[in-house]
Amino acid sequence: MKSLPKLSWWRHAMRAAVLLFLFAIAGSNLHRHYKSQYGGQVEIDAHRGLRVIDRLNGSSPHLDRRPVTVSGGLWSFKVRGLRISDPLAVLSGLLTSRALPAALLLSVLIPVGGALLLGRVFCSWICPMGLFGEAVCGAKRWLERNGVQLLNLDISRLPKYVILVAGALICLLFSVPFLFWFYPPRIISDAVRDTWSGTLMTGELVFVGILLLCELVLCERLWCKCLCPGGGLLAWLGSARRLRVRQDQDLCTSCGACDVACPYDLAPSHSSLGGECDNCGRCIEVCNDDALQFHVRMPRPRNQSLVMLCICAVLMAAPSVATAHHIRGIPHYSYQENYPQVPLFEEFRDAGPWTLQFTFWPIPTQKALDLALYVKHTTTGNPYDDAVTFRVYQHGEDLSEGNHPFQAYANPRHIHKVGWVYEEDGIYYAQISLGEGDQAISETFRFQVGKVKPNYLVLGGAGAAVFALITIVAIIKKRQTSGQVPGV
């Protein structure tokens, strides 16, 4: 078996390193969370991974309440005052909240600048879904060499643009974060974080697994090539990229090896790459004629000053301290001074004129936790101090004591906080209501407590469906090879 070219190994190593880095910072932040609490050392000593981090930190002080400096995932990431958000995350946040917060716009400058200069390099060098997709392609090649013939349907790249536009309309019209829910890079990075809580499988990961199985039996790189709305957005931005694959027609022998190697079914031999190309370099690696090379296309003289002005603006604005995010899934600690502990989880939601910040933190050695909400007016920034109602649900059942909701008024820190005792680890939903009459607002937040076991019924059903699909494909292929045509 021919070894992978050097550039491919670098890409695989880069994406694996990204996953390991996200895993490390999630563990570090969880360790910091327990270090900030009385009795938190008990939880650290009971967790094998946290014990390792504790030993590596050496003489880390108890009740260490320094703010978290690195947090987030592939949806949005923060290092001190620098925040970087996926362009799809920003688009989703802007449409869902129907607002234009400067912090959110600043957080997308580096990704957009990178796409304009380098194209869809996020897809080929960072995105874990691409790494898993290439692994599935490798498994498919191995199966085919061993006599198992699978389909590789020719599916148009148009659906991802349809999903992008339809998802954007859903976000805008219904204020529903549709693009957040069905985005494998975000799902995988969140799953890496959740492994510290003992969660190894969720419904979202089942969705990703089904996509990968479809890539195995139906169409190679199905998600990246045909369905990914984030890839569609980056392809549109990357159509103006500076870094491109250039063909030397004098050296090209028209062997077609580069066209076969391209994961997006482009035609490098005809220089027809467009914005879909993610500069993975596969076509360059398989070209035995050295007819393909990376090339930086310089802007025309009349555009050079504009390009330099845009680059300077990105470099100056990107490190600016962002004061607020209005987007689901973005880690944010601008209200850190309001919390007595470092929160384990935070989620933001814009509802009417208010911005809601929900968080919770477990109480060590007890099956109890504090649910907390911070509400401020989106325009004026004034906190909301009237009563807020909390209800907790699991599997559609109201778990509030005696079916009566918890009602809380803001404390001097402007935090609405209630204590809640739970019986078992699992995934719960907190329904929070505020206001009265026409001004009433109700939002539901999902949160996980402790270790969550996989839903074996869902996994079994998904596995049975995939097995049935593979069996049908195998029967069809067997009939085709034996010259029999199935009846209509």
- Report pLDDT digits (tens) over 231-257: 999 999 988 899 999 888 889 998 989
User: Which among 126-130, 398-402, 441-445, 451-455 has the top mean pLDDT?
Assistant: 126-130
Report residue 216 as tokens.
């195995």
Query: What's the pTM?
Result: 0.72
Q: What is the pLDDT of residues 64-90, one digit of tens each?
A: 666 667 878 898 888 877 888 899 988
Token pair 């970087």 in the structure block, residue: 84
**More confident call, 365 vs 193:** 193
User: Which among 46-60, 391-405, 447-461 has the top mean pLDDT?
Assistant: 46-60
Judged against a pLDDT cut of 90, whether residue 129 lies above it is answered with: yes
What does the alpha-carbon distance between residue 366 and residue 306 come to, in Å, rounded to a whole number?
59
Judge whether 203 and 246 are in contact, CB under 8 Å. no
Lowest mean pLDDT among 90-99, 141-150, 382-391, 406-415: 406-415
Q: What is the model's pLDDT at position 117?
A: 92
Q: Average pLDDT, stretch 98-125?
A: 86
Mutual angle of helices 128-145 and 203-217, in 10-degree steps: 40
Judge whether 352 and 99 are in contact, CB under 8 Å. no
Q: What is the model's pLDDT at position 17?
A: 95
**More confident call, 446 vs 345:** 446
Lowest mean pLDDT among 384-393, 449-458, 464-473: 449-458
Confidence of residue 339 (pLDDT cuts 50, 70, 90): very low
What does the alpha-carbon distance between residue 190 and residue 367 come to, in Å, rounded to a whole number?
24
Q: Among residues 261, 226, 218, which one has the least CA distance to residue 4?
A: 261
Q: What is the model's pLDDT at position 483?
A: 59
Using a 10 angstrom Cβ sphere, with 0-12 exposed, 13-18 middle and 19 or more buried, the burial of residue 88 is buried
Average pLDDT, the chain: 78
Compute and round to an integer the Cα radius of gyration of the chain: 25
Judged against a pLDDT cut of 60, whether residue 328 lies above it is answered with: no
Report residue 298 as tokens.
């310089």
